[in-house]
Amino acid sequence: MKDYCLISTAYHGEARIYVSYSQALVEKARTTHGTWPTASAALGRFLTVSAMMGLMVKDGESITLKIEGDGPIEYMLVETNAKGEVRGDIKNPEVYLTYNSGPKAGKLAVGKAVGNGYLHVTKDLNMRHNFTSSIALETGEIGDDFTYYFTSSEQTPSAVGLGVLVNPDQSIKHAGGFIIQLLPNASEQTITQIEKVLSNIQAVTELFEQGLSVEDITDILSSGTAKKLSEHDIAYICHCSKEKFAKSLEKLDVKTLQTFIEEDHGAEVVCHFCKSKYHFDEDELKKIHTNKH
Ligand SMILES: [Zn+2]
């Protein structure tokens, strides 16, 4: 199954449903950052929900999201836009923790790997100021945290389900998720029906494992009432370039640039999001130095 997001209206226009499959996207993140299973699950869930949020903004707008916690991952950063493109960064990719006991025994301990902390969401809506809102993390399991974010910060009662299933060789077997949002006209009857569906639904990765498609999951979530609105590709893409990094180097102070030129005779810049390396030789750095004046 290819990566994409299906957006539907459901319950006679009283709810909107986003369902995504994101295996290739999360696998790309894993190979780029060298994440271990629990970090793959944490970053994968975060990228998947972010890609769906990107599809909620207009063309040319973008969202930057950051999760900071006191767990071993420390922080994750994701950027997304209206084209369904995401890219991310993770402080400590080598995290592999599982729950030892309780109902989640044996499962990847994403909440433990993230810990207590905050979710910051910054929207760049092409206005003079960006808008940032922050919430304390509920559980660090990502899905719960976004459920709380949408309800408290965006005043849109929502439920978010996210999942990443890792193969024994640590590659990504399945990844995906959903967001179901109640619209202001939602009736008590619809709310009750959605609560019933959510309390019975299995984890998204289990549904994909059973061979269900994005359409099948939309059907379950909507109790068969879904009407397709649109379908979008989602992907892990970084648009960095040497020209863009040259612009960032121009912003450095003169002293730092001089050190690169006189002592290092060059500079190598590594993109945090895709790990591409860009080399600037002495002459190129001198040109950047001149451009500053
Ligand atoms: Zn890059």
Q: pLDDT, tens digit, for every residue of 1-17? A: 999 999 999 999 999 99
Give start-end residues of each CATH 3.90.1280.10 domain in the chain: 242-291
CA of 176 to the centre of ligand 1 (A): 23
CA of 237 to the centre of ligand 1 (A): 8
pLDDT tens series, the chain, 293 aa: 999 999 999 999 999 999 999 999 999 999 999 999 999 999 999 999 999 999 999 999 999 999 999 999 999 999 999 999 999 999 999 999 999 988 888 899 999 999 999 999 999 988 888 889 999 999 999 999 999 999 999 999 999 999 999 999 999 999 999 999 999 999 999 999 999 999 999 999 999 999 999 999 999 999 999 999 999 999 999 999 999 999 999 898 888 899 999 998 999 999 999 999 999 999 999 998 888 76
Selecting from 3.90.550.10, 3.90.1280.10, 3.40.800.20, 3.40.50.1980, what CATH number does the domain 242-291 have?
3.90.1280.10
pLDDT of 290 reads 87
CA of 88 to the centre of ligand 1 (A): 10
pLDDT of 293 reads 63
Instruction: Evaluate whether 145 touches 139 at the Cβ level (below 8 Å).
Output: yes
Beta-strand relationship, 235-236 and 85-90: parallel
CA of 251 to the centre of ligand 1 (A): 18
At residue 100's C-alpha, the angle toward residues 40 and 76, to 5°, is: 25
- CB atoms under 10 Å from CB of 228, counted, come to 11
CA distances from 284 to 41, 281, 291 (A): 40, 5, 11
CA of 240 to the centre of ligand 1 (A): 4
Tell me which amino acid residue 193 is. Answer: Q
CA of 277 to the centre of ligand 1 (A): 8
Instruction: Evaluate whether 10 touches 186 at the Cβ level (below 8 Å).
Output: no
Structural tokens at position 175 = 């990844």
CA of 67 to the centre of ligand 1 (A): 20
Give start-end residues of each CATH 3.55.30.10 domain in the chain: 4-236
- 100-128 residue pLDDT tens: 988 888 899 999 999 999 999 999 988 88
Assign a CATH topology to domain 4-236.
Answer: Hsp33 domain (3.55.30)
